Structure 1
Amino acid sequence: MLLVFDVGNTNIVAGVYEDRKLLDVWRLSTNPPRTSDEYGMIAINLFEKANLNYKDVDAVVVSSVVPNIMYSLEHMIRKYFCVEPLVVGPGVKTGINIKYDNPKEVGADRIVNAVAALEIYKRSLIIVDFGTATTFCAVGEKGDYYGGCISPGIKISSDALFERAAKLPRIELVKPPTVICKNTVSSMQAGIIYGYVGLVDYIVNKMMDEMIKLGEKKPYVVATGGLAKLISSESRTIQEVNPILTLEGLRIIYEKNR
């Protein structure tokens, strides 16, 4: 079995594969002070809950944007799974030609998403990943990673409004039926969610225009991440939501490097 970890600033998403079949997915909070043994016990319990044997894992792939968690996570993998993890970074085969000024600056999660989307859709792409930050990535049909942009995530925007405005409450991210709202909570929900839809559609349209000028065909727009479905339900530009895009990218990178 193949175990994959997508380590984000807020959550760690783990998945376990048997060949190309995804058997289960787990989501944990990202907690840098947690020890390798704590991560090990959590992992073993998750395997047992899913009626899987953790001793059947013979390979592990990790993508991380949180450097200070990696010592504990890598040590846990070596101790409990008895394998050397493949960590996505310089020297790992991806098939992506990074056009960034400094390729090392590109988050591993963005490259993993690009690998998966290119393998699955085989065309020019815009990938929108709704995580702690929302990232927009432009990927050419031949594997050129042109770059993209980064905006504050929806949760960050919501928390900032609550923390900086004395009379505004913390709210649940639920889409109200209208933008003309008659109470404070609905007004905040409408402003954040519909406002974010506008942000996404404007950036995607601008990226489309720029990619066409670069000689690409009109790109296909794929979204992933925890809040992708919430925004895509109103977006005019998002064409598909793929909730396991990053996990699939990690599996594909393992196949390219084994």
Structure 2
Amino acid sequence: MLLAIDAGNTNVVFALLDEGRIRARWRIATDPRRTADEYAVWLSQLLSLEGYDRSAVSGVIIATVVPRALHNLQVLSQKYFKTEALIAGQAGAEWGIHLDVEEPQNLGADRALNVIAAHARHPGDLIVIDFGTATTFDVVDYSGAYKGGIIAPGINLSLDALVTAAAKLPRIAISAPQTASVIGRNTVDQMHIGIYWGYVAMIEGLVARLKDEVGRPLKVIATGGLAILFEERTDVFDAIEPDLTIQGLAMLWERSR
């Protein structure tokens, strides 16, 4: 089985895959100080709860946008899974797509993997929206080339900034407002409306501008945990792929073989 590891700014996601299918998935808060031994204790218990042993893992592939987290994840693979991990975007696991941008070396691994997986699963020109620590919009042409995109603050990041900077505003859960009205009658409702409908307006507005600029039909693919939340109140998404980054890792692994 393959252990795919996606180390993001907020969480590290571990997924166990068998022939490209996700059999189990776990996440832990990203902390570059976390040692390989700490990962191993936590992961061994979770593998056991799912009925697996560490010996079931025959390969490891890692993607990270947190460089300081990489070393301990590599040690985890070497010490506890007895294998050298492939690193997404590096020797043996190159992207294999054309990065048609000014600074291709600065493209985040998660975004490159999203592009690879989205293009493999959806033909034609695409916009891939990832709701993570940042909300990113990536444009992919019909050949699979990455053409560029947009980086906006993630919804949790925006909410944290608002609550931190405004002493009297309470911390709220991110959820769809209970009514369709955009006139809030109390502070909490007004915050829900601002955060939720503000993001819907941003998504719809940026997608419209991207479509106008490209000038060809574009299918919109959403990924990330909050994509389903926004699907309830907008028809801008053509498909939701919650595991796009992990699927991209699995595809890179298969190419490497």
- Contact 2:176-2:196 at 8 Å conserved across structures: yes
What residue is the counterpart of 1:221 in the other structure?
Answer: 220
1:47 matched to 2:47: yes
1:138-165 deviations in Å (ceiling 9; x for gaps): 0011011001010000001101110111
Write the distance in 2 (CA, Å) between the matches of 1:128 and 1:47.
31
How many angstroms apart in 1 are the aligned matches of 2:173 and 2:182? 16
For 2:47, the aligned partner's letter is F
Equivalent in the alignment of 2:12: 12
Query: 2:147 corresponds to which residue?
Result: 146
Cα deviation code 1:62-110 (max 9, x no counterpart):
1100011111111111100111111112443333100111110100000
- Quote the residue 2:129 is aligned against: 128
| Equivalent in the alignment of 2:213 | 210
Partner of 1:107: 108
- Name the structure 2 match of 1:240: 239
Identity %: 40
Corresponding letter in the other structure for 2:252: I
What is the aligned partner in structure 1 of residue 98 from structure 2?
97
Q: 2:26: which partner in 1?
A: 26
CA contact (8 A) 2:9 2:66 kept: yes
Q: Distance in 2 between matches of 1:54 and 1:122?
A: 37
Tell me, in whole angstroms, the C-alpha distance in 2 between the residues paired with 1:81 and 1:101. Answer: 38
Say if 2:89 and 2:95, in contact at 8 Å, map to a contact too: no
Q: Name the CA distance, whole Å, in 1 between partners of 2:256 and 2:125.
A: 24
Equivalent position to 1:189, from 188, 192, 201: 192
How many residues end up aligned between the 2 structures?
A: 254
CA contact (8 A) 2:37 2:76 kept: yes
Q: How do 1:69-84 and structure 2 match up within 5 A? A: 69-84=69-84
* Greater shift in the superposed pair: 83-92 or 194-203: 83-92
Q: Give the letter for the 1:15 counterpart.
A: A
Question: What SS class does the counterpart of residue 179 from structure 1 fall into?
Answer: coil
